[in-house]
Amino acid sequence: MDDNTGSGADSLDDKSGNNNHADLNNMDDSNWRPGVMGSGLVFDGSAENATVNPATTFHNMASFTLSTWVYPRSDGPSGIGRIISKGNWSFYVSDSGSTGDLGFYRVTSGTEVRAEAADNSLPANTWSHVAVTWDGTLTAST
């Protein structure tokens, strides 16, 4: 994602080889900014987002690790800012305990799994590398 462009002003190329390209919604070239390594995208926390169409590589994932660089300017609309989400799970920053809480939740067969890092674990206006690993079980720990 560090090439400062996609296939056009409305898309983002997947460099993994899996062809999971993303559609950029309500964004243009002005959303590209210098990042930690190359370039990154600035999201307004409301209407701007990147959407990857449903792909078999994302279906029924028994376990996974997600990681990314973030530069949160706030906790997002209504105090919850999704970093990455899909259907029944979300990796997010929130103000549930205090500003800058980093968390993950997943709902499977009506059972909710939720884990949040220590309060203030994600500072505002600072680049941070964040990651979450889910092992596929219905228990959680931080």
Does the structure show a pLDDT above 60 at 94?
yes
Model pLDDT for residues 5-19, shown as the tens digit of each residue: 555 557 778 777 888
Q: What is the percentage of the chain residues whose pLDDT exceeds 90?
A: 0
Name which of 13, 8, 71, 11 is nearest 37 in CA terms: 71
User: What is the torsional sign of CA 98, 102, 107, 108?
Assistant: negative
Residue 4, pLDDT score: 59
Residue 123 to residues 57, 62, 71, 103, Cα–Cα distance (Å): 32, 31, 9, 14
**Average pLDDT value over all residues in the chain:** 77
Q: Is pLDDT of 39 > 80?
A: yes
Enter the pTM of the model. Answer: 0.76
